[in-house]
A and B are shown apart, each in its own frame.
Chain A
Amino acid sequence: MSAVASSARAAPGIGWRDIALAIAPLVLALIVAAVVLGIAGHNPLEVYWLLLKESFGGTKRVAATVAASTPLILTGLATAVAFRTGVFNVGVEGSLLVGGLAAAFVGFTYVDLPAALLLPLALGAAVVAGTLWMLVPAVLKARLDVDEVVTTLMLNFIAVSFTAWLVNGPLLAPGSANSATPMVVEAARLPKLMPPSTLNAGFLIAVALLVLYWLWGRGTALGLETRLAGLNPRFAIASGINVPMLIVKMMLLSGAIGGLAGGIQALGTVNRFVVGFSPGYGFTGIAVALLGRGSAIGIFLAALLFGALATSGATIQLFSDVPIEIVNILQGTVMIFAVARFSWLLKNRRGGK
């Protein structure tokens, strides 16, 4: 996506205008949500204040927010690596599901392995599963120019049903009736950083990857190639860059990160795989990548924002009668406004040239 790719470019200086443009989608979404809240008889400012307090007021709340943002950093990153290459991968959700299931499977099957072996193996399984999940759309896109939006979108639904089948049948926990695998053994779980919070080492992995992404995007030959291919594929090809191969590589990388997101969620938070494992982390990841404009710091902040909304949304229901769904409304409208261009509204109309 060129809008994302172009803003991912390292600008020589960031002015107020850039910052205003970057937060405009959020502001507009907050206004829309405020109208909804107002109509429902709530004071939007109070609600927003409550949300803020519930997500950042105190160490525990911050820990919960950061924990909730972990999968979003990864799905946002997975989306961003594809977008910056000009590939419209909307299938991170599918990679996340198969990755989560693969990690859980390793975690409850090879129970005799020591933690030092089992945990990397389980995460590795997640990465492999997520990567393989993207293989078909990647090859179809690169070799036959099959629209990746449709194939990856379809694969999401296939992943939902496919994993549901596995956990309802072959991988169902014995004696369980609720569509879940057995729990993974202790040795396969990611260490908790601040018990009893679910915040775990997965967050460190996510941040480390984000830093790598930042360095990679700025300082490597591959990072340069993906950016050029995303901005102008014809130019990239004429410069001697193998663009189809690049598309395959980056879609697989996107799938790998998506799979890892699932693995971290399975081994760090849920400790198994269940139907309904993901409340749409992959789709939120698209919003994160768009709102973060494909930059590492932007993805981090956007993931934190949506993580905050997820945790505070869950608790404000306890303190007020504001439905948690205000979070979904914000998320959806942020996505919409993140791709809308308002520039022409400001431009004065002038005929001809």
Chain B
Amino acid sequence: MSTAETLPDASIRLGAQGVTRRFGELVANDRITFRAMRGTIHAIVGGNGAGKSTLMRILQGMDRPDEGMVVVDGVPTVFLGPADAFSRGIGMVHQEFMLVPGLTLLENLVLAHEPTEGLGRIDRKAALEAARKLEREAGVTLDWDTPVDDAPVHVRQIVEILRLLYRGADVLILDEPTAVLAPAQVQELIVLLRKLRAEGRTILFISHKLDEVMALADEITVIRAGQVIGTMTTADTTKAALAEMMIGEILSKPSARPSSVGRPVLEIRELAALDARRSLRLKELDLDVRAGEIVGIAGVAGNGQDEIIAAVTGLGHIERGRIVLDGKDVTKLDLRDRRELGLSYLSPDRAVEGLCLTAPISENLIAGRHRSPELSKGGILQKGAIKRHVETLLDRFSVKRTSSALPIASLSGGNQQKVAMARELDGGPKLLLACQPTRGVDIRGIAFIHQCLLDYREAGGAVLVISEELEELIALSDRIVVLYDGRVTGEVARGSAKVEELGRMMLGETRQEIPA
């Protein structure tokens, strides 16, 4: 063994060496190797389900690889836990911020590492001094006595980053840091991160927003389906090349026979809505979905999709605009009444909203339809009719089960989603709002669900699909509407949709700007 081989390459601040992590059948990380050099910004890009989150959990010690190792300062290492990772200077800014409500920014900064004087009193002067020093390093100014609850999102994010520095981290892992930011704030963040890099810190930046990655990163590692597709320096690549690596080829296309498009079933007019943080997330949206048509909504998460769901279902508050369902203005109606008028809603959050995991399969299948005349008479559930109905539906959607009386949690993700799908297509809805219809579903399940949606369309149904899977949207949609920052930036018809083009529109470039 020569000295040259054993000497660790200390310029590698953080990396992975053949990291593999399996969850049952699923290989979330498959022999992932990459290296983030000291004092650089390294981006990890990949689509949904590419394995980014698993890798991040491993890199900060929250999870352990089945094979391979994390590399710290060039040395292969096994982390004992998050505290161990942190003691080696590795800290993470989470997507959902870990700030404590009710506390001021300063209190949040020093929490768990408070400078104190006598009687356990917090030394405010020392805390403020430390805060000012960090401000200078990061090139920002903050009002430290603001309660966290009153601070805007980008300020909270800055506090999170400064807190990591305060606690001694010099490697920052940022998980989709711009997902919650407005464009101007993204610029501020980029400036801040560059400043930190200039001071010798290492930044690992996880994103699927390619323009930010191109603007910020020194090196980029693309992962897809748990594997590293390639690592390149930013100067040597282009957005288009990255997009292609990220998305891959389109594997299969379910057969979509032409269908006759009818009258509009859903009309959204001049819709404006606020998001949970009360900033305007949806601006003057107009959208039609007609009978016999599947309309897909593409866009990076957080560009107004949640607000469309809230507006169409009536589950959230809208600022302005009208929702017309099958010719009737339903803007003021709640979900129950909208369902009566023919709306069906496949929730993006299967575990919490789409299904009741602790209730039996049969009840999940009839919930909401249990008062229909076939299933109950005078408020009394018709056991026999329900049983027949449930078994028929489960057979039709080929749901594998031992007994429909067992809790639905006993089914696999794919079969759970089939149950949700079966319920929503039952009773002949006029419009199906299908959100992330195949999230967490295996390949065979995906094909099945796609075929269901296409069959429904052929039978004259109208579908609005909201999905983060471009491939899925291209396969299903007669039209794809691209959303960026709460506005429609383009529309593409079936057959003419190209990933590259969609990707550009998702980044805010309108179709006209693209040279023919």
Same complex: yes
User: Residues of A at under 8 Å CB distance from B?
Assistant: 6, 9-10, 12, 219-225, 227-228, 231-232, 234-242, 351-353
Q: Which of A225, A236, A240 has the most CB of B within 10 A?
A: A240
**11 additional contacts (CB under 8 A) given A224-B367, A238-B335, A240-B340:** A12-B405, A219-B383, A221-B370, A221-B371, A224-B366, A224-B381, A232-B356, A232-B357, A235-B354, A235-B355, A239-B367
Are A240 and B339 in contact, with the CB atoms below 8 A?
Answer: yes
The answer, yes or no, to whether B264 is at the interface (CB within 8 Å) is: no
Chain B binding surface, main DSSP class: loop
Q: Give the complex CA separation of A30 and B353 in angstroms.
A: 41
Q: A224-B370, A237-B315 in contact; A232/B335 too (CB < 8 A)?
A: no
B371 touching A235, Cβ below 8 Å: no
For A10, the chain B residues whose CB sits under 8 A away are 360, 405
- Do residues A228 and B380 form an inter-chain contact, with CB atoms below 8 A? no
Contacts of A236 in B (CB 8 A): 356, 367
How many whole Å from B21's CB to the nearest CB in chain A?
10
Q: Report chain A residues within 8 Å CB of B205.
A: none
Q: Is the CB of A237 within 8 A of B335?
A: yes
B345-A221 in contact (CB<8A): no
* Contact of A352 with B356 at beta-carbon distance under 8 Å, contacts A235-B367, A241-B336 already known: no
For residue A55, give the distance in angstroms from its CB to the closest CB of chain B: 36
Q: Please indicate the chain B residues that have their CB under 8 angstroms from the CB of A238 in the complex.
A: 313, 315, 335, 345, 347, 353-354
Tell whether, in the assembled complex, residue A219 and residue B380 are in contact, meaning their CB atoms are under 8 Å apart.
Answer: yes
Smallest CB gap from A2: residue in B: B358
| A239 and B359 contact, CB distance less than 8 A | no
Does B119 reach chain A (CB closer than 8 Å)? Answer: no
Interface pairs (20), CB distance under 8 Å: A6-B358, A221-B381, A224-B381, A228-B356, A228-B359, A231-B356, A231-B359, A232-B352, A235-B352, A235-B354, A237-B335, A238-B335, A238-B347, A238-B353, A239-B367, A239-B368, A240-B335, A240-B368, A352-B62, A352-B63
Contacts A237-B315, A240-B335, A352-B64 hold; do A221 and B355 have CB atoms under 8 A apart? no
Asked if A242 and B355 make an inter-chain contact with CB atoms under 8 angstroms apart, the answer reads no
Q: Mark interface residues in B342-353 (1 if CB within 8 Å of A CB, else 0).
A: 000101000011
Which A residue sits closest to B339, measured CB to CB?
A: A240
- Residue pairs across A and B with CB atoms within 8 Å: the count is 82
The residue among A239, A242, A352 with the most chain B CB atoms within 10 A of its own CB is A239
A231 to B409, CA, bound (A): 13
Give B21's nearest chain A residue, CB to CB.
Answer: A353
Q: With a CB–CB cut-off of 8 A, which chain A residues contact B371? A: 221
- Cβ of B81 under 8 Å from chain A: yes
Contacts of B347 in A (CB 8 A): 238
Cβ-based interface call for B185 (8 A): no
Assembly CA distance A221 to B371 (angstroms):
6
Q: Within 8 Å of chain A (Cβ to Cβ): is B376? A: yes
The 8 closest A-B pairs by CB, nearest first: A239-B368, A240-B336, A239-B367, A232-B356, A12-B405, A235-B356, A240-B339, A240-B368
Q: Please tell me if B293 contacts chain A, counting CB pairs below 8 Å.
A: no
Judge if B363 is at the interface, Cβ distance under 8 Å.
Answer: yes
CA distance A91 to B81 in the complex (A): 46
Complex contact B352–A224 (CB within 8 A): no
Minimal beta-carbon separation of B36 from chain A (angstroms): 23
**B89 CB to nearest A CB, Å:** 22
Instruction: Give every chain B residue within 8 A of A231 (Cβ-Cβ).
Output: 356, 358-359
Query: From B359, which residue of chain A is reached at the shortest CB distance?
Result: A231
Q: Distance in Å from the Cβ of B67 to the closest Cβ of chain A?
A: 15
Task: List, in ascending order, chain B residues with CB within 8 A of A9's CB.
Answer: 358-360
Residues of chain B with a CB closer than 8 A to A241's CB: 336, 367-368
A5 nearest CB neighbor, chain B only: B358
State which residues 366-400 of B face A: CB under 8 Å: 366-368, 370-371, 376, 379-381, 383
Contacts of A237 in B (CB 8 A): 315, 335
**CB of B437 to closest CB in A, whole Å:** 15
Contact at B381–A227, with CB atoms within 8 Å?
Answer: no
Which residues of chain B are near A227, meaning CB under 8 Å?
359, 363
Known: A239-B368, A240-B336. A234 touches B352 (CB 8 A): yes
Min CB distance A18 to B, Å, is 14
Chain B residues whose C-beta falls within 8 Å of the C-beta of A222 in the assembled complex: 379
Indicate whether B56 reaches chain A with its CB closer than 8 angstroms. no
B237 in contact (CB, < 8 A): no
Residues of A within 8 A of B360 (CB): 9-10
Interface code B183-197, partner A: CB below 8 Å = 1, 0 otherwise? 000000000000000
Q: By CB atoms of chain B within 10 A, which of A9, A225, A235 has the most?
A: A235
Contact of A220 with B379 in the complex, beta carbons under 8 Å: yes
Contact yes or no, A12 B358, CB < 8 A: no
Give the residue name and chain of the A residue nearest to B81 (CB): A351
Nearest residue in B to A222 (C-beta to C-beta)? B379
Interface string of B398-441 (1 = CB under 8 A from A): 00000101100000000000000000000000000000000000
CA distance A235 to B350 in the complex (A): 9
Chain B residues positioned under 8 Å from A220 (CB to CB): 376, 379-381
Cβ 8 A contact of B358, one of A219, A221, A223, A232:
A232
A221 to B81, CA, bound (A): 49
Nearest CB of B to A141, in Å = 18
Bound CA span A235–B420, Å? 11
Contact B379 A221 (CB under 8 A): yes
Q: Give every chain A residue within 8 A of B363 (Cβ-Cβ).
A: 224, 227-228
State the Cβ distance, B393 to closest chain A Cβ, in Å: 15
Which residue of A has the minimal Cβ distance to B350? A235
Q: Which chain B residues (1-53) contact chain A, with CB distance < 8 Å?
A: 23
Once bound together, how far apart are the Cα atoms of A63 and B335, in whole Å? 52
- A338 CB, nearest partner CB in chain B, Å: 19
Contact yes or no, B64 A235, CB < 8 A: no
